[in-house]
Amino acid sequence: MRSSWAGATTPGCSCVTESVHKSAPAARLTNWLVSGPPFVFLLLFFVMPGIIMVLASFRYPGEFGGLAPLTAADPNTLQGVTLETYRFFFSDPIYGRVFIKSIFMALATTLICLAMAYPLALLIARSPKKSRDLMVLLVILPFASNFLIRVYAWMIVLGPQSALSRLVNGFLQGLGMEPVHLLFSPFAVLVAMVYVHLPFMVLPLYTNLEKHDPSLLDAAQDLGANAWQRFWRVTFPLSLPGIFSGSALVFIPVLGMFAIPDILGGTGDMLIGNLIKEQFLGTRDWPFGSTLSIMLTIAVLLIAWLAARLAGKRGSYA
């Protein structure tokens, strides 16, 4: 494609233009052959299901789960189409509360990940070139083991008979306080959320920090900036794009997570993901489950848009 443009604007090179013109139908055919199969597959199994979900959110639930047939719906409404699920979502404050709780969980996870990832990413970026790859690999390696195993590991670490639990409770007893259960608590959920998503923060931060020109820090030092000022006024502002993209990579999956609260949380630690799972597999109210999923999608899109805007704006002067 590019060569045909170059050929068209360079009169002296007619051979290129001609050969491209001759093969234009063939090129178009190749274009279709290459992009067609993945396009059709994703249209069928990604776009269609999305559209179906939006449509389902405007339907009534079936008697035995699923969706009610369009014809056998309430005679007062138009062919079984309704805004009932949306009305229900906004009328019961419990759903709004779960959304807010999920957003706080995602925010806390993001901030803790940032606090843990930043020094590590900084250290890797400032290490000798040959040891960087190994240090990065050591960050992704545990991330390559199965997700459930990484969550399960915390069941052992935080379990009632674990060394950590005994240590914490021994300490609390010494202070004359009640012993606590670490497992099946919001704390356990938060720890596992951080554990599972930490590499998503380290990698974009490292990619950003690695590109910083060290001479900027030398210049700052020559101008009399101390270590703290060099970090706060040079490194940190320059790393904001990395912070924003890492934050989006942590925040978005945490917002939709159901497995971690399901395994490590108590009964009161439900997040949006657990609500959605419950609607689809438990109470089988699919229209309401679809509505919740659409609300989650909207939240995710807002966050992604915000992160892209912030990263773009900061990136322009970096």
Partner 1 sequence: MRRGRWLWAAALAVYAFLYVPLAIVVAYSFNDSRLNAEWVGFTWHWYEVLLHDEAMLAAAGNSLLIALVSSLVATALGTMAGIAMHRYNLKLLTFMVLTPVAMPEILLGVSLLLFFIQVLNLTLGLLSIVLAHITFSIGFVAIIVRARLAGMDESIFEAARDLGASPWEMFRYVTFPLILPGVVAGGLMAFTLSIDDFVITFFTAGVGVSTLPLHIYSMIKIAVTPEVNAVSTLLMLLTLTMIVLAAKFAPDVLKGKA
Nearer to partner 1, 76 or 262 (CB): 262
Q: Is 120 in the site for partner 1 (CB under 8 A)?
A: yes
81, 83, 100, 137: which one binds partner 1 (CB under 8 A)? 137
List the one residue from 105, 114, 117, 209 that touches partner 1 (CB under 8 A): 117
* Burial tier of 4 (Cβ tally within 10 Å: 0-12, 13-18, 19+): middle
Among 81, 140, 216, 219, binds partner 1 (CB under 8 A): 140
Q: From CA 150, how far away is CA 160, in angstroms rounded?
A: 18
Q: Which of residues 208-267 bind partner 1 (CB under 8 A)?
A: 227, 252-253, 255-259, 262-263
CA dihedral 11, 15, 16, 20 (to 10 degrees): 120
Which of residues 17, 82, 95, 136 is near partner 1 by CB under 8 A?
A: 136
Of 78 and 144, CB closest to partner 1: 144
Are 186 and 254 within 8 A, CB to CB?
no
Contact 75, 82 (CB under 8 A): no
The answer to whether 139 contacts partner 1 (rule: CB under 8 A) is: yes
Which residue has tokens 């794009």? Answer: 241
Q: What's the CA gap between 23 and 8, in Å, rounded? A: 15
Find the shortest distance in angstroms from Cβ 186 to partner 1: 19
DSSP string covering 135-176:
HHHHHHTGGGS-HHHHHHHHHHHHSTTSHHHHHHHHHHHHTT
Least distance CB 305 / partner 1 (angstroms)? 12
Q: Given the complex with partner 1, which of 217 and 318 has the nearer CB atom? A: 217
Judged by CB under 8 A, the chain residues 153 through 192 that form the site for partner 1 are 153-157, 159, 161-163
Nearer to partner 1, 6 or 83 (CB): 6
Give φ, ψ of 61 to 5 degrees: -70, 145
Contact 158, 191 (CB under 8 A): yes
| 15 part of the interface to partner 1, by CB under 8 A | yes
Between CA 26 and CA 32 the distance in angstroms is 10
Q: Does 273 bind partner 1 (CB under 8 A)?
A: yes
Centroid of chain to Cα 281: 23
Binding mask 287-306 for partner 1 (x = CB under 8 A): --xx--x--xx--x---x--
Using CB under 8 A, count the residues that bind partner 1.
92
Between residues 1 and 175, which has the closer beta carbon with respect to partner 1?
1
Nearer to partner 1, 76 or 300 (CB): 300
Whether residue 233 contacts residue 220, with contact meaning beta carbons closer than 8 Å, is answered with: yes
Smallest gap from Cβ 270 to partner 1, in A, equals 13
Q: Which is nearer to partner 1, 29 or 219 (CB)?
A: 29
Q: Considering only residues 70, 141, 167, 302, which one is a binding residue for partner 1 as defined by CB under 8 A?
A: 141
């945490």: which residue's tokens? 254
User: Whose CA is closest to 115, among 304, 247, 248?
Assistant: 247
CA atoms within 13 A on the CB side of 207: 11
Which parts of 30-89 interact with partner 1 (CB under 8 A)?
Answer: 30-31, 34-35, 37-39, 41-43, 45-50, 52-53, 56, 66-67
- Please select the residue that binds partner 1; options are 93, 119, 176, 224, rule is CB under 8 A: 119
234 and 215 Cβ atoms separated by less than 8 Å: no
190-219 positions binding partner 1, by CB under 8 A: 195, 198, 203
